[in-house]
Structure 1
Amino acid sequence: MSLLGVFAVPGISGDELTDSLTAQEEIVRAWTTAGSADALTPIHARDTDHLAEIALRLQRIPAIAHTLTRTLRSELVNRSG
Structure 2
Amino acid sequence: MADVSNELIFEVLKQVQQRLDKVAPKVDELKSEMNAMRGYLISMQQDVQNVYGILGRYDGRLEHIERRLELNDSPTMSA
TM-score (ref. length: structure 1): 0.22
TM-score (ref. length: structure 2): 0.22
Give the helix-richer structure, 1 or 2: 2
Give the strand-richer structure, 1 or 2: 1
More RCO (CA 8 Å, sep 6+): 1
Rg larger in structure = 2
